[in-house]
Amino acid sequence: MQSVEQYLTASRKKKGALLFVLIDSENDGKNSAAQLAKDAEKSGASIILVGGSSATDQIAMAETVKNIKRSVKIPVILFPGNVTGVVPGADAILFSSLLNSDNPYFISQAQALGAPNVLRFGLEPLPTAYIIIGEGTTVWHVGSARTIPFDKPSLAAMYALSAQFMGMRFVYLEAGSGAKSNVRPEMVAAVRKLFKGFLIVGGGIRNARTAGEIVKAGADAIVIGTFIEKGGSFKTIADIVKTIQSVRK
């Protein structure tokens, strides 16, 4: 059977770029998490991510994962903000180190605490460097991030290169959920120049134009959460998929 990592690499090659849809396990919008995941899959998403930096209810998280898994065929990947984000039932986990945190807990301690359950639950760990850009977002606050300004692409590139040297195969450039500004294409390009692995970019992306620019600059996947959570149309999501796939083909 193909691993999630193999699926991602193969899909990226075939489609040009991928859309990951993030569903907060504490989603209390009018549509259920399972319905949102189903609509996302229908609109062309390649992955459902479940998690978030303030999602701490492990029971709700496990339930959400179970419901989503029942409703879609595409892989479900955990996106934990803490050890509470490690639950059974998903296909894989972004096993992330928050590289630019000032708090060692988010760089290696939470990972050590979470690792035994990753093994026990049979989750495929995707070794990920999580790098937070900008400030003022929940993830920036919770993760004690040492701010990388949006206009300092070289700083993000340094972290991404160090991730590569440490053997991480994924880099996630994160502006934060609901961020006012997304990671700029210049920064994505600077990271792409040095990082050879799978590059994920998320935070504040709401339309096809921005998504297209980020993919053109070198992202392999973009993440969209808030837009959908707030009831954004799945027609726009389908447009985003179409745009990012045509940019890199």
90 by DSSP, 3-state: which? coil
Q: What angle do CA 175, 199, 36 make, to 5 degrees?
A: 65
Residues in contact with ligand 1GP, counted by CB under 6 A, come to a total of 14
Q: Does residue 22 bind ligand 1GP (CB under 6 A)?
A: yes
Instruction: Identify residues 222-241 at the interface with ligand 1GP (CB under 6 A).
Output: 223-227
Residue 164 CA to residue 40 CA, distance in Å, equals 31
Which range binds ligand 1GP by CB under 6 A, 104-112, 117-125, 149-157, 199-207?
199-207
> Which of 169, 147, 151 has the alpha carbon at shortest distance from 160?
169
Q: 116 or 223, CB closer to ligand 1GP?
A: 223
Q: Does residue 55 bind ligand 1GP (CB under 6 A)?
A: no
Q: 1 or 21, CB closer to ligand 1GP?
A: 21
Sign of the C-alpha dihedral computed for residues 178, 179, 185 and 189 taken in this order:
negative
Q: Does residue 204 bind ligand 1GP (CB under 6 A)?
A: yes
Q: 187 or 205, CB closer to ligand 1GP?
A: 205
Q: Does residue 210 bind ligand 1GP (CB under 6 A)?
A: no
Instruction: Identify residues 177-196 at the interface with ligand 1GP (CB under 6 A).
Output: 177-179
Q: Does residue 19 bind ligand 1GP (CB under 6 A)?
A: no
* Bridge partner residues of 127 (DSSP): 95
Number of Cβ within 10 Å of residue 67's Cβ equals 16
> Which of 180, 179, 223 has the alpha carbon at shortest distance from 198?
223
> Which of 231, 221, 49 has the alpha carbon at shortest distance from 240?
221
Ranked by CB distance to ligand 1GP, the top (closest) residue is 202
Q: 2 or 94, CB closer to ligand 1GP?
A: 94
Classify the phi-psi angles of 157: left when phi > 0, otherwise alpha if psi is within -120 to 50, otherwise beta. alpha
Q: Does residue 29 bind ligand 1GP (CB under 6 A)?
A: no
Residues of this chain that interact with ligand 1GP (CB under 6 A) are 22, 174, 177-179, 202-205, 223-227
